[in-house]
Amino acid sequence: MLELKQIQINLVDALQNDRYNAQSVLTAYAWKALQVQETHNCVCQFLIESFDEAEETDKKFSHQDHKPPLYGLPFSVKENFFIKGYDSCIGLTKYLNNPRQDDCTMVTHLRSLGAVPFVTTNVPQTLLSFVCSNPVYGTTGNPKNVNRTPGGSSGGDACLTALGGTSFGTGSDIGGSLRIPASMCGLVSLKPTQDRYVVHNAHGGIPGRGRLGLSYGFFTKRVEEQVLLWEQVFGSEDYHKLVPKCAPIPYRPHLYSETTSKKSLRIGYFTNDGFLRPTPGYVQTADDVRLAQEACDEYIKEFTSLWHELQIDALICPAFVVPSVPHENVGKLSACVFATGLYNLLDYPAGIVPVDCVKKEDDAHLMDEESWPTGNNFVLKFVRNAAANSEGLPLAVQVVTLPYEEEKYLQKLGWIVRDGISFGVDFLLYKGGVQLYHSSIGIRIVEPNERLNDNCLLALKRELSNCKKLFMFNTWSWNKVRICDLDASNGDEE
């Protein structure tokens, strides 16, 4: 019997060196996204045109010496970002059957860099929650436990990224909407300074520079992937022409390299922001990695003044108050958003990196009134009840720097988690043919550098189209989606 074994590859290098092409990689991710959708309900719409887009990308760049830096990488799009010809309803029926006339500028920019958008992902209704649920697309489950939330408002993208259904995800953050899902799903993410990456043609926030800073960013599994993406995004002249309000500050590798030197750095940390006491797992995580604290005008001045007075280079603090909690508990925990919203108020860059998981003893300490007293604080009682039985769920730290010093943040993450594989993707290696995953959907084999089997592609497109039809009939049960057999005899058009 031939052995199937799981491997990891550097997908960026494989695409740049023509080991794979955009179409084969997109096919792999589309099948995986279907599998994830079956179990976690994180997808809103599949962009069927993405296959034509990948084919055109291959015609233009395959076997060429100079390829765009993100050539062939399929990525997911948060549902509040506009895609021409598709709805962007943020869970509101009033926005259904209202296809957008223009693409989100972030999507336009990533396309110009060679990446291929192929799916939109779920959000809470109006984006104002960290439970990822709405009456149109239903509820998204956490990658580790479908009965718990992946966070919000970018929860669908975080879930899909964590489960390997996309090479990287996209999101926005006005109170923690990138950082909360990243912490709950075990991902890396960065909320940059508000005007370092401005995005148009998307729902979210009040137009103009808001008091509570609205930022945009990415979900990845590794720090190196964040570096690659921000290297291309920060200070792009083409993007500045598209969105003039975006600050033309290029990626500054010298800031990154300076902070990787052996010069002594001064790092501030805290385990309790004085507003809500984190659960024991987060306190322990904060202590282990030396976490951070402090938190309108006068407050921002005081905060910045103290920062300079202490001469710190970065601040490390708990990513959130709780790990992922059951969906029904989120409504009572809105005060927890203070942990992330503070840095939107300050407009300080802040990012997330996973470092640990909740341990059995953390659960025990949480339930012990002496170890983790709640007194008469009803919010802390809600926190205790919601965070009970969290063993095994991801824990993360939040790293904060001064405005426009995102490069220092990326370097600090590299210190916390060392991992040299960029865009590593799980594949099955079988007889020299690569692709995809062993799952309830089945094993898809696509030979490297060979033309995709037409029947395979037709079958996949049909499944994605069927998903779209289910949504049109307001049938949100993905149990009704039947995955077809990929034998050639079953691959013909119906």
Angle 276-279-285 from CA coordinates, rounded to 5°: 110
Known binder of ligand: residue 264?
A: no
Distance between CA atoms of 185 and 323, rounded to whole angstroms?
Answer: 9
Helix 360-367 × helix 280-289 angle, to 10°: 120
Known binder of ligand: residue 436?
A: no
What's the half-sphere exposure (Cβ side, CA atoms, 13 Å) at 187?
Answer: 40
Known binder of ligand: residue 177?
A: yes
Contact 192, 411 (CB under 8 A): no
Known binder of ligand: residue 169?
A: no
Residue 38, token pair as written in the block:
């079956």
Q: Which one, of 139, 137, 168, 164, lies nearest residue 152 by Cα?
A: 139
Known binder of ligand: residue 127?
A: yes
Strands 43-46 and 215-220, how do they pair?
Answer: unpaired
45 - beta bridge partners? 120
Contact 387, 145 (CB under 8 A): no
* Residues classed as catalytic: 78, 153, 177
Residue 342, token pair as written in the block:
């503070």
Residues flagged as binding site for substrate: 127, 153, 174-177
